Amino acid sequence: MLDQKLIQALIDERIAELDNGLYVVDLRISPTNVIHVELDKLKGGVSVHDCMSVSRNIEHNLDREQADFELHVSSAGLDKPVRHINQFAKNVGRSFKVTPDTGDQFEAELIKMADDLLVFKQRIQRRDEAKKKKVWVEEFIELPYNQIKEAKIVISFK
C-alpha cells in the first residue's frame, strides 16, 4: 500500500514550486494502488501543465519496483460537488444547489463569503395576502461551511 502522507508531501512540494494558487481538492488511494488527485486554483482554471507537473513529481519520486501504481491527476470538474472551501471563494456570484445538514435543499446565488460563513441570496415566490397575488421576494441564507452536506454549482447556458 502506498503512503498517502508521502504522496501529499510530493504534491505539496510541487504546488509550492508552481506558486500559482493551486490546491488539492481530493486525494484518494485505492487498495489496488490507484491514485486519484483532483486540483483546483484560487483564480482561473487548472492547466494541463499544472496536472502534468504534479503528476511527474509523484511519478519520479515513487519506486514502481516497491509498489506498482496507477496515477490520475485532474482538475475538479464543474459536474462534481464542491469539496473544498476555496471552491466557494472562487465561485462567489454563481448559483449553487445546496443541501445543508438539515436536509432542506435549496438553490441560491452565493453573494458573500466571510471566513467560513457563506451568504446565499434566494429569489422565491410568496403569496402577498394584501395584494392577493404572488410576488417575488429575496431571502438571505447564512450557512457555515461545516454545515453543508453537499453543494453543486448550477451550470447555466443563458
Could you tell me which CATH number the domain at 4-75 has? Answer: 3.30.300.20
CA 134 remoteness from chain centre: 36
Contact 107, 97 (CB under 8 A): yes
Q: Which three-class secondary structure state does DSSP give residue 135?
A: strand
In DSSP terms, 70 is beta-bridged to 34
Q: Give pLDDT, residue 13.
A: 98
CATH of 85-153, one of 2.30.30.100, 2.60.40.10, 2.130.10.10, 2.40.30.10: 2.30.30.100
- The string of pLDDT tens digits covering residues 28-72 is 999 999 999 999 999 999 999 999 999 999 999 999 888 899 999
Residues of the chain with CATH 3.30.300.20: 4-75
Residues of the chain with CATH 2.30.30.100: 85-153
Q: Give pLDDT, residue 21.
A: 95
Cα–Cα distance, 123 to 109 (Å, whole number)? 9
Q: Give pLDDT, residue 64.
A: 87
Q: Is 0.75 topped by the overall pTM?
A: yes
CB within 8 Å of 36: residues ≥ 6 apart: 26, 27, 28, 29, 30, 72
Query: What are the residue ranges in the chain where pLDDT is below 50?
Result: none
Q: Give pLDDT, residue 101.
A: 95
